[in-house]
Amino acid sequence: MLTIAAAQPLWEPAGPYLNTASFGLPPKPAWDALESALSDWRHGRTSWEAWCEATERSREHFGALVGVPPERVATGASVSYLVGLVAAAVPDGARVLVPDVDFSSLTWPFLVHEQRLELRSAPLARLADAIDARTDVVAFSAVQSSDGAVADLEAIAAAASSYETFSVVDATHAVGWLPVDGSPFDAVACAAYKWLMSPRGTAFLTLSPRALEQTGPLAPNWYAADDRFGRYYDPDLRLADDARRLDLSPAWFSWVGTEPALQLLCEIGVEQIHEHNVSLANRFRAGLGLAPGNSAIVSVNVPGAEERLHGAGILASVRGGSLRASFHVYTTEADVDAALSALLD
């Protein structure tokens, strides 16, 4: 296992970076792989087929991160598209439960079907209790984008299982720092450009056996074929018999940059990253007089916070009128202390 201290030189932030919840920073292996592929493209030194292998290795790495075999992992470009595949397959008249507040990439793919689906909501903290015999689908984010609130994954999975409720999770703000077991859920979607520190344009969807059986492709293409490199002109629809039949044609260079980032995360280990990130978040919380939390994202109302941090060369963001600071593997205690000094002095 690679230690945090040994891994941190692989990143080169210009200053304290507390904005992974907006986008993650690439480690050197990912950046180098992307630069190499772009150079080959520019100078015409290679054909494109080898770039597709990065997609397949990324699929394997993501499956390892969430405990799902790669044959049940589909690849795409965004969470909204992948959740849209699942939502389109939900039967007419189904009752769908979502949190009162969640990110639109999770909720809108269901809302667009509101004429044929019945949607209701409940507070995230009581979502498991709101699942009952009338709940056909529950859809929620494992970690909230706005404030870092962590869902009770075990309780929701148990409640969904007891009522045979179909479960959909957006794990974009979880996988990469929070240990996530995707196997109890029917569908787990994740964009890779945040906590997986990859180029924008790569995303994953895991599916349970029943989800895989009922979910069909909306944009079948050559990459989803049973023989990826042998069906370019086949007049018959011959799709892969596993989750790959849902794949979008890969954006080569985004996947070239994704694969090394995921491999590095696997080498470091999410458990170690979780301990590191939450420790730094709680150091930040303590400096602001807040109680400890369980998230790598801290949301706090400090007047003029973004301007103060920007003036000190520190990048964070504002969501819902509050400062959102996020801490990842490349963040250090010195970064936290610099941010506190900028906010409190």
DSSP per position, 221-270: -GGGBSSTTT-TT-SS--B-SSGGGGPPPP-HHHHHHHHHHHHHHHHH-H
Q: Which residues pair with 97 in a beta bridge?
A: 120, 138
Is residue 38 in some structural domain? no
| Same domain assignment for residues 242 and 317 | no
pLDDT value at position 321? 86
- 11-60 pLDDT tens trace: 999 999 999 999 999 999 999 999 999 999 999 999 999 999 999 999 99
Whether 151 and 168 have beta carbons less than 8 Å apart is answered as no
Q: Are strands 317-319 and 322-326 parallel, antiparallel or unpaired?
A: antiparallel
pLDDT value at position 303? 86
Give the CA-trace dihedral at 298, 175, 138, 206, to 10 degrees. 170
Positions of E strands within the chain: 73-76, 95-99, 118-122, 137-141, 166-170, 187-191, 203-207, 297-300, 317-319, 322-326
Rounded Cα–Cα distance for residues 282 and 288 (Å): 10
pLDDT value at position 1? 83
Whether 79 and 104 have beta carbons less than 8 Å apart is answered as no
Residue owning tokens 């504002």: 318
| Confidence grade of residue 7 (pLDDT, cut at 50, 70, 90) | very high
pLDDT value at position 160? 98
| Same domain assignment for residues 208 and 68 | yes
- In the listed set 266, 283, 309, which residue is the last one of a domain according to the structure? 266
What angle separates helix 79-89 from helix 104-111, to the nearest 10 degrees?
30
| Same domain assignment for residues 186 and 71 | yes
- In the listed set 227, 242, 266, which residue is the last one of a domain according to the structure? 266
| Confidence grade of residue 125 (pLDDT, cut at 50, 70, 90) | very high
pLDDT value at position 92? 98
- 283-322 pLDDT tens trace: 999 999 999 999 999 999 988 888 899 999 999 999 988 9
pLDDT value at position 180? 98
Radius of gyration of the chain (CA): 21
Among residues 154, 185, 159, the alpha carbon closest in space to that of 86 is found at: 185
pLDDT value at position 305? 87
Rounded Cα–Cα distance for residues 185 and 187 (Å): 6
Average pLDDT score over residue span 216-241: 95
* Average pLDDT value over all residues in the chain: 97
Rounded Cα–Cα distance for residues 173 and 194 (Å): 7
- 165-179 pLDDT tens trace: 999 999 999 999 999
Query: Which contiguous run of DSSP H or E holds residue 65?
Result: helix 49-66
Average pLDDT score over residue span 97-125: 97
Largest CA distance in the chain: 68
| Same domain assignment for residues 254 and 125 | yes
Tell me the CATH number at 62: 3.40.640.10
Q: How many domains does the chain have?
A: 2
| Same domain assignment for residues 157 and 20 | no
| Same domain assignment for residues 146 and 179 | yes
| Confidence grade of residue 161 (pLDDT, cut at 50, 70, 90) | very high
Among residues 120, 136, 172, the alpha carbon closest in space to that of 151 is found at: 172
| Same domain assignment for residues 193 and 318 | no
**What is the extent of the structural domain holding 260?**
49-266
| Same domain assignment for residues 176 and 53 | yes
Q: Which two tokens stand for residue 313?
A: 């060369």
Whether 96 and 139 have beta carbons less than 8 Å apart is answered as yes
Q: In the predicted model, is pLDDT for residue 345 greater than 90?
A: no
Average pLDDT score over residue span 323-342: 97
Is residue 44 in some structural domain? no
Give the CA-trace dihedral at 262, 268, 270, 276, to 10 degrees. -130
| Confidence grade of residue 115 (pLDDT, cut at 50, 70, 90) | very high
Is residue 171 in some structural domain? yes
pLDDT value at position 78? 98
Characterise 59 by phi-psi region: left (phi > 0), alpha (psi -120 to 50), beta (else). alpha
- 57-93 pLDDT tens trace: 999 999 999 999 999 999 999 999 999 999 999 999 9
Rounded Cα–Cα distance for residues 242 and 212 (Å): 8
| Same domain assignment for residues 64 and 182 | yes
Is residue 232 in some structural domain? yes
Q: Which two tokens stand for residue 136?
A: 């056909």
Is residue 39 in some structural domain? no
Is residue 225 in some structural domain? yes
Whether 26 and 261 have beta carbons less than 8 Å apart is answered as yes
Percent of the chain with pLDDT strictly greater than 70: 100
Average pLDDT score over residue span 208-213: 98
Is residue 339 in some structural domain? yes
Is residue 31 in some structural domain? no
- In the listed set 231, 266, 301, which residue is the last one of a domain according to the structure? 266
Q: Which two tokens stand for residue 22?
A: 């907006």
Contacts of 36 (CB under 8 A, 6+ apart): none
pTM for this entry: 0.96
Percent of the chain with pLDDT strictly greater than 90: 97
| Same domain assignment for residues 211 and 280 | no
| Same domain assignment for residues 127 and 16 | no
Whether 57 and 29 have beta carbons less than 8 Å apart is answered as no
Q: In the predicted model, is pLDDT for residue 264 greater than 90?
A: yes
Tell me the CATH number at 16: 3.90.1150.10
| Same domain assignment for residues 17 and 113 | no
